[in-house]
Amino acid sequence: MTRSSPTTAAAVGAAPEPAGWVCCPDCGWLLYRKRLDRNLHVCPECDHHLRLSARARIVLLTDPGSFTEVAFQPGAPDPLSFTDLRDYPDRLADAARRSGESEAVVVGLARIGGAETVVAVMDFAFLGGSMGVEVGRRVSGAAELALERGLPLVTVCASGGARMQEGVFSLFQMARVSEAFGRLREAGLLSVCVLTDPTYGGVSASFATLASVLVGERGAHVGFAGPRVVQETIRAELPADFQTAEFLLAHGLVDRVENRGDLRPLLVRLLALHGSGVPDGAPDDGGAAHVAASDAEEADPWDVVQRARDVDRPTTLDYLHTAFDDFVELHGDRAFADDAAVVGGVASIGGRTVVVIGQEKGHTVRERVARNFGMPHPEGYRKALRLLDHAETFGFPVVTLVDTPGAHPGPEAEERGQSHAIAETIMRSSRLRVPVVSVVTGEGGSGGALALCTSDRLLVLENAYLSVISPEGCAAILWRTAVAAPTAARAMRLGAAHLRTSGIATSVVPEPPGGAHTDPAAAARLLRQALVRELDDVCRLDVATLLDSRSRRLDRIGGDVDRTLQPVEG
């Protein structure tokens, strides 16, 4: 049959489904149940992800045979003695009979990729996955169990919101579970929430969006108020993709959107990266990557500028896929958008877990337009701020890869607080309680670059530079013609050698002859060696020493090394 065949369930109206067949609720196609089971209950015709029970989710996500359910003593079943068309206890009994569960969430211990994990999985079949006192007690209990055993927590949400039949008692479960997740965050324990269809109301406005990492299942609808309520309230036409997981990703509200079959592999990687995070054995030999000040030849500054801007020069994503061992990208500022000019996430290098943040330009014209030529908007810097917080929470060192002409200067960036976002990022990184290693890999334009350069170690590639303004901008202002850009570049002494001799850069990373773009693989090896060496060195410092030495390093730039305040005479 073809997709246009009239024999779909939609075409036959209210006709019952034949035995062994299931009607897709999205496209109306009749699907053979065994084929649907093999396809993880994803429609092969339209890719619609059908709802799964809590037990089916547990089988899908955890190692076979590893799940052990945690039992909870039953609480008061009807705090309000609530009755509508039926008594509330009757509704609870009916929900238990239909779903096969005692409540709308199942909690237990399991292994995911061999990592012991606490899991809490909601079941929409039990009163629409609504959160009442018992659900709040079980979810907060799952968080407490994770805290007690020092384990990560994985939750899977499917809910219509707070449970009306329990009134204000239900409302305050939002505070109860939020406090429990706050304690997990304070303890530096990983929490991952998988948002499935649907996740609304009090659940979406509490623990569902408070996890360390938020993953939306493809096509899931997630929001505070349902679309029907929104339309009735504001009387406005809603976007076609309103409140879908993809809508949330575009607006910076989730880290990732995954197909159902990709959820488990992602969880395995996240749990592995958030393990000990400390390398075993001897680190990679990074000695060859160091170039002392006397060894770095002073190239012509204008030549450096041209090489730093070469469209074939490796970008942040190129290095993430070659110099690092694994990288899971995390998206969004959790407030407005996901800025494609800034990429970041959790990575591993030389056996050590790090948080990586960098500007990304792309190579082709289409990529460069999509990435805004590596010029971040405020939401890009706020994404960086969120990732800095993630690093500090889990005790991971930070690596930043800097390559930008500068922050985006448009009116929309000003409206959304560009200066505030840059200033907050600089201040946050200057006081971060974990090590920060920055690498200037290409252009380093003004404050837009400095936001990711405030660090304990500042490395600069041989053909990279930092500048207070572009050579063209400087020439236009002081020479009154952009043609004088080469002269301006030389006057500002742009390049790695000057950064090293002035004490701004702590070391220079060599490049293959002719520049990194001539041999990207070799450039990645050299960068990897330098990063492993610097991380191994700086990660030995305790927090107090780290903060003090970072502050003193900033004080020394420009020659001021004496913090003692002297009285002014006369």
43 is in an annotated binding site: yes
474 is in an annotated binding site: no
pLDDT band at 566 (very low <50, low <70, confident <90, very high): low
46 is in an annotated binding site: yes
539 is in an annotated binding site: no
Encoded amino acid at 34, one letter: K
pLDDT of res. 77: 84
* Residue 296 and residue 192 share a domain: no
Q: What is the DSSP-derived secondary structure letter of residue 199? A: E
The domain containing residue 513 runs over which residues?
A: 287-556
pLDDT band at 276 (very low <50, low <70, confident <90, very high): low
Please give the model's pTM, rounded to 2 decimal places. Answer: 0.90
Separation of alpha carbons 217 and 256, rounded Å: 9
* Residue 496 and residue 363 share a domain: yes
* Residue 261 and residue 114 share a domain: yes
* Residue 403 and residue 260 share a domain: no
In a domain, 6, yes or no: no
Mean pLDDT of 237-264: 95
Query: How many independent structural domains does the chain possess?
Result: 3
pLDDT of res. 14: 44
Last-in-domain residue among 273, 306, 333: 273
* Residue 199 and residue 338 share a domain: no
* Residue 432 and residue 295 share a domain: yes
In a domain, 180, yes or no: yes
pLDDT band at 568 (very low <50, low <70, confident <90, very high): low
* Residue 266 and residue 134 share a domain: yes
Q: What is the DSSP-derived secondary structure letter of residue 477? A: I
Residue (of 281, 282, 284, 278) closest to 395 by Cα position? 278
* Residue 98 and residue 35 share a domain: no
Q: Do residues 158 and 197 touch, judged by C-beta distance below 8 A?
A: yes
* Residue 331 and residue 249 share a domain: no
pLDDT band at 290 (very low <50, low <70, confident <90, very high): very low
For residue range 428-486, what is the model confidence (pLDDT) as tens digits? 999 999 999 999 999 999 999 999 999 999 999 999 999 999 999 999 999 999 899 99
In a domain, 9, yes or no: no
Residue (of 369, 331, 383, 324) closest to 349 by Cα position? 324
Greatest Cα-to-Cα distance within the chain, rounded to the nearest angstrom: 99
* Residue 499 and residue 420 share a domain: yes
* Residue 302 and residue 247 share a domain: no
pLDDT band at 9 (very low <50, low <70, confident <90, very high): very low
